[in-house]
Structure 1
Amino acid sequence: MVKAERASAGVEFAFKSAREAGAVQRALRPEEALPASTRCRTSIRRRKNVLCLQIDAEDTAALRAALNSFLRWTIVARDVIESRGK
């Protein structure tokens, strides 16, 4: 059997303000704080209005699953914040 190679991805999300980026970061914190699985580790950092998501995974399937989840959660958090501002 062929051993899968490690995979990683970094994504940056630019928000309208540092406050909005901080709110999304706080919304994602519980997911980041979960114990690291054996297949994937995630970190979220913020630089002013930019959130930086780093995912390191054992294989591309684990990377894809984690990336899809965090992208979806980020979009939902952003949409909730934007809808409250209207």
Structure 2
Amino acid sequence: SHASIVVLEDDKHLYPSYLCGNVVRMDVLKKHPELEAVLLKLTHTITDQDMSYMNYEVESEGQKPHDVAERYLRTKGLLY
């Protein structure tokens, strides 16, 4: 059977947020300007709840990080 996951509110603020930004060297963007639009699509996409669930899939269910990330990006329409 599949376990149910509940993400608790961190009302004591013990854990840092998983919200992240993109860090890219300017020389990379100069060589590949198309990356800017792609990376902007990721901004504010992954919620703390999303990240908690993906961590659970990897750490508790033994799934591969690549597979979990790929599935997430596909469900968000960011990977085809």
Smaller-chain TM-score bracket: 0.3 to 0.5
State the structure with bigger RCO (CA 8 A, min sep 6), 1 or 2: 1
Larger Cα-atom Rg = 2
What is the TM-score when the length of structure 2 is the normalising length? 0.35
What is the TM-score when the length of structure 1 is the normalising length? 0.33
